[in-house]
Amino acid sequence: MHILVLGAAGMVGRKLTERLLRDGRLGKSDITRMTLQDVVAPAPAKTGFPVDTVTGDFAVAGFAEKLVADRPDVIFHLAAIVSGEAELDFDKGYRINLDGTRMLLDAVRLAGGGYKPRVVFTSSIAVFGAPFPEAIGDEFFQTPLLSYGTQKAICELLLADYHRRGILDGVGIRLPTICVRPGKPNKAASGFFSSIIREPLAGQEAVLPVAETVRHTHATPRAAMGFLIHAAGLTRDALGPRINLTMPGVSCTVAEQIAALRRIAGDKIASRIRREPDETIMRIVGGWAQRIDARRATALGFRAETSFEDIVRTHIEDELGGKVAA
């Protein structure tokens, strides 16, 4: 099985690649080759099968054709401009997030010879926009409040139409907020959800810009890898025509996040969170989904953590080698 990963140098892309290289198989099939694409060179890898890296912008004419020329069996499409950048740079956001995806789908469509790969597309709960019901169900409509969410919602529609026409076997997975996100603090409005766990555990202070009553839905990077790999194995029959799925996660308040951190790592670590209200972030976060009722995804076998304590423990295991700075 030949696997192509678009956006392989991003956080999710790197973790997915590591996992696939470690497993050496996807579902019941041995991996025989991988192709990793990103705008910067994805990390090289040592393995028993060929791993090609392709550096370049996938939304440039002709690039997608080259990527599918060797007919990868499974395409993980994780490449995207993030929400903040897509909002600031109209042209870049639409070019990468919409046109790039369409070029990929059309390259598959025009490849000929009965080529019909499995395409796993990472979408986002940004396809939804406030006001929300108590919980976002499987039939709730898409009214994104950012260009990023608009572009993701459009790509979901394209993927479903190409799937329906038999051009590919598509599945779109709407990721909740990934928490705890490894690495350094970034300027994303959602960054604090991870910072308030990650920084204290690493012996550093974190800033909490919103009230502790704020509720949100989270899943770990490990759960996200599980979503991607599970999605790649779903059959057309199991999915039915509604191929874009909201993934499950842990819905909890910031207070519950902090309580979980305290129970696992103690008062000293949990006291490294400084309250510094930020009106802008409060306003942005106020428009986000609080609860997700991911019934279909759960019925199809997608699994997230079941408590925020699990999320903290997974972070400590996967990123801190099981150790916590006192």
User: Dihedral, CA atoms, 50, 54, 55, 57, nearest 10 degrees?
Assistant: -150
Residue 150 touches a second copy, criterion: CB under 8 A: yes
Min separation Cβ 155 and a second copy, Å: 9
Q: Which of 246, 257, 259, 240 is nearest to 295 (CA)?
A: 246
Distance (Å, whole) CA 231 – CA 227: 6
- In the residue annotation, 162 being an active-site residue is answered as no
Residue 144 touches a second copy, criterion: CB under 8 A: yes
Encoded tokens for 64: 């997608």
Residue 140 touches a second copy, criterion: CB under 8 A: yes
| Identity of the residue, 21 or 160, whose beta carbon is nearer to a second copy in the bound complex | 160
Residues 226-255 touching a second copy, rule: CB under 8 A, are: 241-242
Among 1, 51, 154, 232, binds a second copy (CB under 8 A): 154
| Identity of the residue, 134 or 267, whose beta carbon is nearer to a second copy in the bound complex | 134
Q: Decide if 157 contacts 243 (C-beta within 8 A).
A: no
DSSP symbols for 241-260:
S--EEEPP-EEEEHHHHHHH
Distance (Å, whole) CA 173 – CA 171: 7
| Identity of the residue, 12 or 234, whose beta carbon is nearer to a second copy in the bound complex | 234
Among 25, 164, 263, 274, binds a second copy (CB under 8 A): 164
> How far apart are the two ends of the chain, measured CA to CA in Å?
45
Segment near a second copy (CB under 8 A), from 3-11, 47-55, 151-159, 272-280?
151-159
Min separation Cβ 129 and a second copy, Å: 7
Encoded tokens for 125: 């709960």
Q: Which residues are catalytic?
A: 148
Catalog residues that contact a second copy under the rule CB under 8 A: 90, 109, 129, 133, 138-145, 147, 150, 153-154, 157-158, 160-161, 164-165, 241-242
